[in-house]
Amino acid sequence: MLLVCLSTMLLLNGYTHHMFGAEPDGAVKSTGGSSTVPRSIVTGGPVIDAGPGVPRSVSPHARTIALTFDDGPDPVWTPRILDLLRAQKVHATFFVVGTAVAAHPELARRIVAEGHQIAVHSFTHANLSTTAGWRRSLELRQSQLILAGATGVSTTLLRPPYSSEPRALTDRDWAALQQIRQAGYLAVLTSQDSEDWRRPGTDQVIANSMPRSTAGQVLLMHDAGGDRSETVEALSKLLPRLKARGFRFATVSDAVGLPDPTRQAGLLDRGRGLAVIWVMRISDAVLSLLTWLLYAAGALSVLRAITTVVAARRHARMRDWTWGPPVTEPVSVIVPAYNESAGIEAAIRSLVASDHPVEVIVVDDGSTDGTADLVEALIRNEGLRWVRVIRQPNAGKPVALNTGLRAARYELIVMVDGDTVFEPDAVRNLVQPFAHPSVGAVSGNAKVGNRRGLLGRWQHIEYVIGFNLDRRLFDLAECMPTVPGAVGGFRRTALERIGGLSDVTLAEDTDLTMALCRDGWRVVYEESAVAWTEAPASLGALWRQRYRWCYGTLQAMWKHRGAMVQRGTAGKFGRRGLTYLMLFQVLLPLLAPVVDVFAIYGLVFLNPVRVMSVWLGFVLLQLVMGFYAFRLDGERAGPLWTLPLQQFVYRQLMYLVVIQSVFTALAGTRLRWQRMERYGSLQAPTTS
């Protein structure tokens, strides 16, 4: 609904500000035949009644000049022209554009209050001769409504944009004038054009405005549409000069002897007009807000790119860093399993093939697909005496992990998902940072194993660029928010000190990591501890997984918000980690739909080349980040060719997930656990 409202506002703003009015009135000349234009109109006066029957036209009285101004009101030039007219005690007719009146209703009210005549010049300065009939009707109706809302009056006078003298009318112009008359308007053309829109110089504007005889004239000038300083200067000299020659100035209706065309608008029209004005003002405000949000989103994106790349480069230089003497003590590996029959054998085989001493504890959490039976059969058939199975009724992953923790023999704990396959050296590399007593947890390097197809490649790119680059930054800043459930190491003492794992959030790994940070433990990233995980193979499965992740992360962030005001390690995590998550994993995805909608707006209403250049610039920035991240991870850069395509499907899915998660959290709805479907696509690495 917000996107629909936003799109509607941008559509309104684009129509009212960018669809028409790019050229001044005289710059567009009518073309085509004039066989249907009555001869009496071609040779007649500039005020035309194109109604049914015999068309009529009328000219101003002799020595009478109807001074008219088009395209206003303008906040700079209209007040100066009004001041000049008041000083000369001259009344004129202002043909106003509806969008300009909506932007400056106070000027329209001043025009009426000072005795000038106000008339319609369309809603958006559209060429009424070439627009479709429905758009012509819209232009007239909206102009009248805005005039009623701003000034409380309506009018029957209209000057079509890009019109000139009667003798220049074409067949299309005449058809438009006939429809205009059916709508209740008299058309006011010109008999003399000052051509001030050309800005030929003050003297030339005066020369163009001087009558060639004593016949009455409808003189065209402009109070908007650019620099009107020549108009103001010419007018200050022209008015006294014409008065001295015996000419008088009048409004259009007075000049031709017509009744006053302005009427008091009805209460309903005034209300509708005010509503249109406020909607347009809101659309302008929305566009201004979006512009600033786009600047903010762009700045955040560039800042994130620069920060993560710089941090990753510095992190890569620390690869030879040693935490202390090599850690050789045995490790307890806990594998929580619920209906993991598709991949549990490969996971167990990879763990027992580790080059580090391990015990493997499989906690079967009430599986109904024979997961525990498969593991027990594997133990019997292959004599895996360091693997054991614990069965429990289904109680959830956090409870299963706590069960395994109580059964573990050793101080160092590795937690593994049932669909994850470890490299032979992954456990050994994962536990080396525990040589330093301040380290309470270690995040490993999770990689996507099933990379075939676009969806698999996109997730692979996300893991390498997004997750692992971020973890390098978090490691340097000492504010790691998540140790992934697929590959994470923990110090048992640290886990027991915080009371084990909690089941109050759907992201138990994030909740656990944040609790460790708040308890003063350092959480680090070990890129050499590589494990292969099975990513969702369908959009539906991906949606459910990321929805749970995002919602659980929001829960954990809210639960640990107190870290923002703490000191020490907890304060670093709060002010650095939580701020980063809020900016780049919540606010940026929430701004992403705005960016996309605004991009479409720019392609339709603005300069499409510029919009495409900006978009390509951001894609190029992501490609550069991608190449660097893939190089750091020792990955082939081939999948990066799908990165531009990722912008059209995958990115939208991810930010919609964030939007749904935020609204679910704001609504106070408790989300159920979303279990991912397993495919058994991973195999244990071969070892000697």
Q: List the catalytic residues.
A: 70, 222
419 half-sphere exposure, CB direction, 13 A CA radius: 21
Decide: 366 and 395 in contact? Cβ < 8 Å: yes
Write down the number of H helices and E strands in the chain. 26, 20
CA–CA distance, 209 with 227 (Å, rounded to integer) = 18
Tokens of 113: 């209050």
**Helix 267-316 × helix 608-632 angle, to 10°:** 30
Kindly report the backbone phi and psi dihedral angles of residue 667, in degrees, each rounded to the nearest multiple of 5, phi listed first.
Answer: -80, -10
Coil vs helix vs strand at 430: helix
CA–CA distance, 633 with 447 (Å, rounded to integer) = 10
Residue with the two structure tokens 């009555």:
38
Residues 537, 541, 547, 550, CA torsion sign: negative
Residue with the two structure tokens 């009371």:
499
Decide: 586 and 553 in contact? Cβ < 8 Å: no
Q: Residue 607 to residues 284, 425, 440: CA-CA distances in angstroms?
A: 18, 54, 54
CA–CA distance, 481 with 478 (Å, rounded to integer) = 9
CA dihedral 127, 131, 136, 140 (to 10 degrees): -20
End-to-end CA distance of the chain: 59
Decide: 228 and 199 in contact? Cβ < 8 Å: no
Please name the residue ranges forming H helices in 537-649: 539-559, 568-572, 579-581, 588-605, 608-632, 643-646
